[in-house]
Amino acid sequence: MASALNNLIGFSGMTGSGVRYLGLTKAGVPPAKAVGSAALVVLSMPLGLAVLATILLSVRPEMLHWSSVPAPLALGVLGAVGLYWPLFVLVAGHGPLHRRWLADTPTLGVAQRLLLVLVSTLDWVALGGLLWLCLQAAGVVLPLGTLLMAFTLAMTLGLVSMVPGALGVFEGAMLFILARTGADPAALVAGLLMFRVAYYFVPFLFAAQLLPGTPLLPDGGRIEDLVERFRTNPVLRLGRIPLQLLGHLSTQILAYATFAAGVVLLLSAAFPGVAERLEVIDRFVPLLALEGFHLSSVIVGTLLLGLSRGIGAGMRGAYHGPQILLLSGAILSLLKGIDIEVAALLLMLSVLLRANRASFDRRGYALASARNLRWLAGIVSTLSAAAVLGGVLYGAGTLLDHLDQMGLHLHSARYARALLGMTVTFLAWLAWTWYSMPAPAVELPDRSALRRAADFYGRVGRTRYSYLTMLGDKYLFHSPSGRGLVQYGMRRGHLVALGDPACAESDLRETLHAFRAFADDYGLTPVFYQVEETHLHHYHEAGFHLLKLGETARVHLPGFSLKGRKAENLRTVLNRARRTEMRFELLSQPLDASLWAELRSVSDAWLAEKHLSELGFSLGSFRRDFLEWGSIALVRQSGRPIAFASIAQDFGHRDETGIDLMRHVPDTPNGTMDFLFTNLILHAQAAGYTWFDLGMAPLSGVGRSPWSPRDERVLKLAYELGNRFYNYKGLRQYKEKFNPSWCGMYLAYPRGRPLPVVLMDVMALIARGPKAARAGG
């Protein structure tokens, strides 16, 4: 598997070493030894190529003048490559050079080093022999020395390029080097394509058969941890190791292969069939049927391009459709032109798909996700390239002129109809996918569902943000055991949960994993917004990356007092309020219509002054059906309402309370909100609460350490430079006057997901408000 995948994906041996490393660690080999073994493979791989270069320069130096490559350049490249094997023999032993440069690889005796050189040489000789056989089969006869010289130079360029599989680099180099040999370029291309299929694609199909049933990650292991260890190796860190790809290849290989099968069918439609085969077809198949078979194969190829996305997502419904299309494509390939090669390829892929049927266990995937859009762009690019290819082969004007004509050898007209079929099929597939893609069967909670959620919070437990469930703008997910509840919003391909799951500590892991499995089932990305630092280990174990968003201020009520120097400002605020006829009221539900009207007037004045509209998701909004769930604190001055705040519903728990919605009129006297906060804290203290939540200070405490994650250091820069646009520092300083304790709040999102996209979707959920949520967002 390692060799086959390395040949196809390339990266100068890094892919094969990555597969070996993952397999060894899964088998229980210590990571340090697994890394050393993988590094030794990378070092050993070019040895045979270096030996061939040395032999060619020693035995047949005159052949350097037979190619199109300038002799000094060829001599320099081969000479540099030839120095590698003696350098390896010198460094890979027991001496100080090994300790300095290859300390992480095993020490080798002289016999072991020479044996590695011999084995690698035999490997490269066999590869050169395969190329010679393929060129012979294509009718290209070259002196062995010339072929080996060209092979050595081209392979060296392919390795250095790090292009996946050296695709195009090796073939282009071979054609350029052998330009003066007199060989037929068409025959050279045919031989090189045969070599590519024999050495790269056929072993790849076997690897694709084996890999899905061979787990490479240890149970509970994370590919990111292995990547980090692999990259720290002094040998392997020089290359970009595509381990992330290797950790998730089970369905991806089949998806790419299905996409490639669709491309093959489209290409077979562009090029005329072999003349002898077409003559046979003409004897037994009516022309109209032949045209139908040709158009049908194009439709099948286009559908394979589209359905390959579902295969890559492991979607349940993506198994049967491609199977039918692959078998149909094989039959049509035979009927339209006896394309035995294409039919064999499609049948082989069908067998691979059937062998991996168990890998398709998801219900759907996100249509608006970045990955799906990239896949869609790939399909559009492929179809556009097919149109360009037709224009190059037959001329754009010819395609349009002969659209309605039929004939055995009227290939341009046949391909023009094929292009029309591609376009219509693609648009039909796009429409069908858009309207038929399974999505989570969820509904925003109605009044009765909200009452059941409130009962759950009262019986089982609540979180800091449970009261925001009553906005009704978030969906509710219950864990399979029924002991956990997650409130979340949906935005494009993200399921954004607000806060931690509501459950007992013992059920947090089960609820968290169940929610992630629910998201994975539909190809969606789970995100947890504003989770508390006391629960971070659960998210870490579930494979989430953590980003600090800021800190929330909590006042410890048993220790709160208005005595002493620290509370001097608060005492001053209370005294000034009494002198200015300011009065604090705590309003219990239900409120009469006149009180609602007064509160509405304050809220409307505040929104108008700030030029804002109501927000939602993680922020409360002025809606009577939401505010009726809790008490409201009101401040009057001379009988006139000037400010109010809604108190978060505690659902019968007396551990913590806090405020949510705060509004005041534009001409509110200084210190009004301090007066409101202080009275609420004193009231909560008297009621027996332990903590009072003052809310979060965004970006506060983020990226303070020079070793903080890069993303948090960037946020700290925003905290410092963006203070002129949003008073981040002033908000923290304001809350500091109540002498609170600070607790970090975090964003948890799956590793590998682009953070800016995640943050934009979270902000969109907040900005769209509860009305938009009920309308579908």
- 3 has pLDDT over 60: yes
pLDDT tens for 649-688 read 888 888 899 888 899 998 888 889 889 999 999 999 999 9
Q: Any idea what DSSP says for residue 421?
A: H
Query: Residue 141: CB partners within 8 Å, gap ≥ 6?
Result: 135, 183
Tokens of 139: 């009718």
> Based on the domain organization, do 201 and 322 belong to the same domain?
no
Instruction: Please count the structural domains in the chain.
Output: 2
> Based on the domain organization, do 233 and 380 belong to the same domain?
no
46-71 mean pLDDT: 73
Residue 61 is assigned to a structural domain of this protein: yes
- 21 — pLDDT class (breaks 50, 70, 90): confident
Residue 102 is assigned to a structural domain of this protein: yes
- Report the distance separating Cα 638 and Cα 635, nearest Å: 10
> Based on the domain organization, do 29 and 162 belong to the same domain?
yes
- Specify whether the CB–CB gap between 18 and 214 falls below 8 A: no
Q: What sign does the dihedral 604-607-611-614 (CA atoms) show? A: negative
- 615 has pLDDT over 90: no
Q: Any idea what DSSP says for residue 525?
A: E
- 81 has pLDDT over 90: no
- The distance in angstroms from the start CA to the end CA of the chain is 46
> Based on the domain organization, do 32 and 16 belong to the same domain?
yes
Specify which of 211-225, 241-255, 330-344, 380-394 reaches the highest per-range mean pLDDT: 380-394
**Residue labelled with tokens 């001599």:** 75
pLDDT at 286: 59
> Based on the domain organization, do 220 and 340 belong to the same domain?
no
> Based on the domain organization, do 6 and 149 belong to the same domain?
yes
pLDDT at 242: 42
701 compared with 89, residue with greater pLDDT: 89
Query: Residue 768: CB partners within 8 Å, gap ≥ 6?
Result: 616, 617, 777
> Based on the domain organization, do 192 and 257 belong to the same domain?
no
615-638 mean pLDDT: 89
Residue 576 is assigned to a structural domain of this protein: no
Residue 550 is assigned to a structural domain of this protein: no
Q: In 533-592, where does DSSP find H-type helix?
A: 536-541, 568-579
534 compared with 770, residue with greater pLDDT: 534
Q: How far is CA 610 from the centre of its chain?
A: 38
Last residue of a domain, one of 219, 245, 271: 245
Last residue of a domain, one of 245, 278, 302: 245
- 63 — pLDDT class (breaks 50, 70, 90): low
Residue 641 is assigned to a structural domain of this protein: no
| β 582-587/656-664 pair status | unpaired
> Residue 130 is inside which H or E element, if any?
helix 110-137
pLDDT at 682: 92
> Based on the domain organization, do 279 and 159 belong to the same domain?
no
- Report the distance separating Cα 208 and Cα 489, nearest Å: 38
> Based on the domain organization, do 124 and 208 belong to the same domain?
yes
Residue 726 is assigned to a structural domain of this protein: no
- 248 has pLDDT over 60: no
Residue 735 is assigned to a structural domain of this protein: no
Containing structural domain, residue 89: 2-245
Residue 720 is assigned to a structural domain of this protein: no
> Based on the domain organization, do 229 and 291 belong to the same domain?
no
> Based on the domain organization, do 87 and 225 belong to the same domain?
yes
pLDDT tens for 276-332 read 444 445 555 555 666 777 778 888 888 888 888 888 777 777 777 888 888 888 887
The predicted model scores a pTM of 0.63
pLDDT at 236: 44
> Residue 553 is inside which H or E element, if any?
strand 544-556
- Report the distance separating Cα 307 and Cα 687, nearest Å: 61
pLDDT at 19: 72
- Report the distance separating Cα 360 and Cα 350, nearest Å: 14
> Based on the domain organization, do 219 and 148 belong to the same domain?
yes
- Specify whether the CB–CB gap between 415 and 270 falls below 8 A: yes
| Strand spans (E) along 230-307 | none
* Beta-ladder partners of 494: 491, 525
Last residue of a domain, one of 194, 214, 245: 245
pLDDT at 403: 54
